[in-house]
Structure 1
Amino acid sequence: MKRIIIYYSLSGNTEEAVKLIAEQLGCDTLKIDTEKQMPKSFAARILVGGGQVAFNKIPKLKPIDKELNSYDEIFIGTPIWNSKGVPAMNALLQDETISKKVTGLIITSGGGDIDKCVKALKDRIPNVKYQVSLLDRKHQDYPQNGEKIKKFVEEISGK
Structure 2
Amino acid sequence: MTQLIIYYSYEGNTEFMATKMAQSVGADLMKLKPLNEKKFTGFMKYVWGGRAAVMRQKPKLGDLSHNIEEYNRIILCTPVWAGTFTPPFNTLLHSYDLKNREIGLFCCNAGGMGKVFTNFKRLLSGSKIIGELGILDPLKSDREKKVEQAVNWVKSL
TM range, smaller chain: 0.7 to 0.9
* Counterparts of 2:66 and 2:109, CA distance in 1: 27
- The alpha carbon displacement at 1:37 in A equals 1.2
Q: Measured at CA, do residues 38 and 71 of structure 1 come closer, stay the same or move farther in structure 2, by a change above 3 Å? A: same
Alpha-carbon RMSD: 2.0
Q: Measured at CA, do residues 142 and 65 of structure 1 come closer, stay the same or move farther in structure 2, by a change above 3 Å? A: closer
What stretches of structure 1 of length at least 5 have no aligned partner?
none
* Counterparts of 2:142 and 2:121, CA distance in 1: 25
* Counterparts of 1:154 and 1:143, CA distance in 2: 16
- The alpha carbon displacement at 1:101 in A equals 2.9
Equivalence map 1:26-37=2 (5 Å): 26-37=26-37
TM (norm. structure 1) is 0.86
CA contact (8 A) 1:58 1:88 kept: yes
- The alpha carbon displacement at 1:138 in A equals 5.4
Q: Deviations over 1:8-61 (max 9, x none)?
A: 001000000001110111110000111121223233221211111122222111
Counting matched residue pairs gives 155
Paired amino acid for 2:123: R
Q: Deviations over 1:89-134 (max 9, x none)?
A: 111011342365351011111113x152111111212321112111
Equivalent residue for 2:69? Answer: 69
Q: Measured at CA, do residues 102 and 49 of structure 1 come closer, stay the same or move farther in structure 2, by a change above 3 Å? A: farther
Equivalent residue for 1:101? Answer: 101
Please identify runs of 4+ aligned residues in structure 1 that moved more than 6 A: none
Equivalent residue for 1:52? Answer: 52
* Counterparts of 1:99 and 1:87, CA distance in 2: 20
- The alpha carbon displacement at 1:141 in A equals 6.1
Paired amino acid for 1:17: M
Q: Measured at CA, do residues 96 and 37 of structure 1 come closer, stay the same or move farther in structure 2, by a change above 3 Å? A: closer
TM (norm. structure 2) is 0.87
Determine helix, strand or coil for the equivalent of 1:98: coil
Equivalent residue for 1:129? Answer: 130
